[in-house]
Amino acid sequence: MKSCFGSLQQRLHDGVSWQTLFAFCVLAVVPIVFVSCHNSDRPPGHVRPVKVEAAGTYGVARESYSGVVAPKEFVNLAFRMGGPLVAVNVVEGQSVKAGDAVAVLDPADYRLDMEAKRAAFLTAEQQMERAARLLERNAVSKQDYESLAAQYENARAAYENSRSILEQTTLRAPFDGFIQERYVENYQEVTPGQKIVCLVNPNKLQIQATLPDRALSYITSSPTLWVEFDAYRGERFSAAITEYVQSSPDGSGVPIFVEVTDPRFNLRDYRVAIGFSCRVELAVDLAKIRNSDKSGASGGPNVGSVDGPTVGGPGAVVPLSGVVQMADGNKYVFIYDTISGRVRQQRISGGEIVERSYMVVTQGVAPGDLVVSAGAARLADGERVTLLESAAK
């Protein structure tokens, strides 16, 4: 220490200024501060949040839309006749079996009507049987017999109809399900056809989404679909459009109905219920659209949420924001693994920029890989991450 101090004194005597000495000290301290700050940027146990985006296919347009799980089989139950309710046996959310009594109308008037028609039927039956015996002895004309026989048939039909109506004073569930909505209260007077409850089959579900008007050409071009439920982020299931409306009924877009066709998906392992939110991802080969719509009315990539470029060519497409230039001069991306929750650093080849915010990759990334699109510059290979809400479209 003494020799160092002596050396410093000697340098001062040799004409080294105090300003130079101060600058030397600052330069010596800054790297220490930088390393200290860098290490404190990520405390132990911290899991960095990132956004990911599925790598697209060059020449395939990808769009993602919000969807909601809806029932595929449901019915609004109603009485065919009116009257006061004497029992409503269910509440919203209650499970029922096929044949269970859901609600009951006051049957008194209908029972009296049935009994009166039963008496008329029995009387007509007796009169017809008596006329048949008399006809055998030629004691009554055939015309009188046929008149009594017609009265008998009318009385029988009226009696059977009154019995059916009496049975219908009890509203029964046509299939297993649950009560999604109850529209009435007990002792309320209801009219014929008035909705009593909405019964839903929870085992037959579909996805309902609304696409912008310009996407109608996508729907009719045999697109590839995936569904990702918010409750199961990172897991995409193949799906298919089962129904769509070829118009925009209220100006909000084109309604579509989607069914999950992926054999991996079942309601035992994936507890998806009505009202759950999801994302519907659509991929369409733009060559099909160009061939079917020479006018170019398909919209194109410059509108909507496009995950990839819309011109033909080989390679996968990744978000430019996820490409990291390393010190070795190579380009890398981080690919998210849904099972481990970690990212893998992957070297890529390519570099053509398309649509300003995407890069064509010829090696290292496959279409569908989940590439980190935000936060990649601060990641390390094998690091555990968490997905932000808007991630993994």
Contacts of 135 (CB under 8 A, 6+ apart): 142, 145
* Per-residue pLDDT in tens (0 to 9) along the chain, 393 residues: 444 444 444 444 454 454 544 444 444 433 333 333 344 355 556 789 999 888 877 777 778 899 999 999 999 999 999 999 999 999 999 999 999 999 999 999 999 999 999 999 999 999 999 999 998 888 889 899 999 999 999 999 999 999 999 999 999 999 999 998 999 999 999 999 999 999 999 888 999 999 888 778 788 878 889 999 999 998 999 999 999 988 777 778 899 999 999 999 988 889 898 899 999 998 887 666 555 544 433 333 322 333 333 334 457 888 888 899 888 888 999 999 988 999 999 999 877 776 667 888 888 888 888 999 988 888 999 999 998 854 444
How far is the CA of 122 from the CAs of 111, 118, 119, 156, 204, in angstroms? Answer: 16, 6, 5, 8, 48
Q: Is the dihedral of CA 308, 311, 317, 318 positive or negative?
A: negative
Q: What are 174's two structure tokens? A: 């046509």
| Whole-angstrom distance, CA of residue 320 vs CA of residue 332 | 11
Q: How many CB atoms lie within 10 A of CB 198?
A: 18
Compute the half-sphere exposure of residue 96: CA atoms within 13 Å on the CB side of its CA. Answer: 26
Q: What is the pTM of this model?
A: 0.53
* Domains in the chain: ranges and CATH: 48-71+204-387 (2.40.30.170), 75-200 (2.40.50.100)
How confident is the model at residue 355, as a pLDDT?
Answer: 61
Compute the half-sphere exposure of residue 246: CA atoms within 13 Å on the CB side of its CA. Answer: 2
How confident is the model at residue 28, as a pLDDT?
Answer: 40
